[in-house]
Amino acid sequence: MNEQLEALLETIQKTADQMGTAASGVLEGAGRRANALLSVGKLNVRLADLSAEANVLLREVGELVYATHTGDPTDSDVLLAKLKEIDDVRAQIREINAEILRLKGAEGVCPHCGAAVKAEDRFCKECGGRL
Ligand SMILES: [Zn+2]
């Protein structure tokens, strides 16, 4: 492994612990945002967006690491910021997945639009469909 790349990866390794601490705050924020969204359908759309975003970020990280390998060293702060973005996106994905499970499990889901419904509801409050 070349020295620049080795130094870069070493920096990333060192900051992994700090980022773990920061990520817990992000989880709470993502949870609140996820709770504001009502339907499973909407959550699934958001999941697809976040997944695409994560893929773009991962590709960008790959480009930065490869540039370092080919002799155009990436500033480690730039790379770490990018990695932190991926942490954030993945934390949101986990929260939304948990929210979808909660909506599907605890309350029931409208067969027409995917909104959470209560067992005693006759009609969906979101779309008006008969349950
Ligand atoms: Zn509905």
Write the pLDDT tens digit of every residue in 13-72.
777 666 555 555 555 555 544 444 457 788 889 999 999 999 999 999 999 999 988 988
* CB 89 within 8 Å of CB 79: no
Q: Which residues surround ligand 1, an ion (CB under 5 A)?
A: 110, 112-113, 115, 124, 126-127, 129
* Domain encompassing residue 71: 3-107
User: Is residue 50 in a domain?
Assistant: yes
Separation between Cα atoms, residue 118 and residue 131, nearest integer Å? 10
pTM: 0.58
User: Is residue 18 in a domain?
Assistant: yes
User: Is residue 47 in a domain?
Assistant: yes
Interval between CA 125 and ligand 1 midpoint (Å)? 7
Task: Using pLDDT thresholds of 50, 70 and 90, give the confidence band for residue 113.
Answer: confident
User: Is residue 131 in a domain?
Assistant: no
Task: Using pLDDT thresholds of 50, 70 and 90, give the confidence band for residue 9.
Answer: confident
Q: Quote the number of domains for the chain.
A: 1
User: Is residue 117 in a domain?
Assistant: no
User: Is residue 116 in a domain?
Assistant: no
Task: Using pLDDT thresholds of 50, 70 and 90, give the confidence band for residue 87.
Answer: very high
pLDDT score, position 37: 45
User: Is residue 86 in a domain?
Assistant: yes
Q: In this structure, which amino acid lies at residue 48? A: A
User: Is residue 66 in a domain?
Assistant: yes
